Amino acid sequence: MALKNKIKNTIINLSARIKNSDYSKCIFYHDIHSNNRFTDMSTSVDMFVKHINVIRELDFEIVHEITKEKNQISISFDDGFKGLYENIGIINQLEIPVTIFVVSSFLDRDNFLSANNLKELAKNKFIKIQSHTHTHPELPTLDSDSLQMELKKSKEILESICETEINSICFPCGMFDKSVIKKALEVGYDKQFSSLSGPYCSEVFPSVKRRSIVQFASEKEFKSILKGGDNILYYWYYKNEFVR
Ligand SMILES: [Zn+2]
């Protein structure tokens, strides 16, 4: 694993030197922690702050919705872990917009946000809430009724708690296929977020946005990812996450 990561980092760093791009990107994490860690996928607040400093040094603007082809970053967190609520002070202090993709059936479970936490977060001007399905299944494995339920129930629950429109979804484990995209659009998710790395817009599926995972990136690797160093991994993710 360590060797695999080393190879991956070398590819990302080398590729960033060649690309050196400033295309807008979505980056994603799972949680942030200071004292209490709610998931192995969590990023320390110290590292998170370092990432934000790199974004600002490279002159990217942090936004909720990417509207420009270049120089914007959107930040999201998947699953709805509790660390974001406990460490909301740092989001307020840094004044950065973030989106949380929440799995609606995980609310009130150990380590996850409670419905009350979510209600409070939804009122924070820096926070947008969106859907990550109802139970986090691999969507392409579902029959049509279950797929409809996962997409619709999550939207309804989150809209009723947050009192805002839920119109984006991110695919659990990045998995999707053409019928998932079609059903998501029908249910009212205008944008669907994948885990395909690279610039924001996917030339392959117009409603599907690319995102780069950065939760364990060192400062150097993070800088390389912002410069497009992980674009090359798109094909690897595509092969593993898009179901034909
Ligand atoms: Zn997830």
Write a three-state SS string for 74-119: EEEEEECECHHHHCHHHHHHHCCCEEEEECHHHCCCCCECCHHHHH
Helix axes of 219-226 and 45-57: crossing angle, nearest 10 degrees: 40
Q: Give the Å distance between the CA of 112 and the centre of ligand 1.
A: 12
Q: Give the Å distance between the CA of 173 and the centre of ligand 1.
A: 6
Q: Give the Å distance between the CA of 18 and the centre of ligand 1.
A: 32
Q: Give the Å distance between the CA of 62 and the centre of ligand 1.
A: 22
Phi, psi of 125, rounded to the nearest 5 degrees = -65, -20
Q: Give the Å distance between the CA of 42 and the centre of ligand 1.
A: 12
Q: Give the Å distance between the CA of 164 and the centre of ligand 1.
A: 21
Q: Give the Å distance between the CA of 17 and the centre of ligand 1.
A: 31
For residue 28, the model assigns a pLDDT of 97
Asked if 32 and 42 count as a contact pair (C-beta separation under 8 A), the reply is yes
Q: Give the Å distance between the CA of 133 and the centre of ligand 1.
A: 9
Q: Which two tokens stand for residue 219?
A: 């400062």
For residue 160, the model assigns a pLDDT of 98
Asked if 155 and 166 count as a contact pair (C-beta separation under 8 A), the reply is yes
CA distance 164 to 214: 28
Q: Give the Å distance between the CA of 103 and the centre of ligand 1.
A: 8
Q: Give the Å distance between the CA of 102 and the centre of ligand 1.
A: 8
For residue 7, the model assigns a pLDDT of 78
Q: Give the Å distance between the CA of 30 and the centre of ligand 1.
A: 8
Residues 6+ apart with CB under 8 A from 131: 101, 102, 104, 151, 154, 155, 158, 166, 168, 169, 170, 189
For residue 126, the model assigns a pLDDT of 98
The burial of 33, by beta-carbon neighbours within 10 Å (0-12 exposed, 13-18 middle, 19 or more buried), is given as buried
For residue 1, the model assigns a pLDDT of 62
What domains are there in the chain, each with its CATH number?
28-201+233-241 (3.20.20.370)
Residue with tokens 């996928």: 41
Q: Which two tokens stand for residue 229?
A: 């160093």
What parts of the chain have a pLDDT lower than 50? none
Q: Give the Å distance between the CA of 174 and the centre of ligand 1.
A: 8
Q: Give pTM, 2 decimals.
A: 0.94
Q: Give the Å distance between the CA of 27 and the centre of ligand 1.
A: 14
For residue 238, the model assigns a pLDDT of 75
Q: Give the Å distance between the CA of 136 and the centre of ligand 1.
A: 6
Q: Which of 224, 236, 241 is nearest to 27 (CA)?
A: 224
Beta strands in 171-231 (DSSP E): 191-193, 208-209, 212-213
Q: Give the Å distance between the CA of 170 and the centre of ligand 1.
A: 8
Q: Give the Å distance between the CA of 205 and the centre of ligand 1.
A: 21
Other C-beta atoms within 10 Å of 181: how many? Answer: 19
Q: C-alpha distances in angstroms, 194 versus 114, 133, 147?
A: 25, 13, 17
For residue 82, the model assigns a pLDDT of 98
Residue with tokens 């991994």: 233
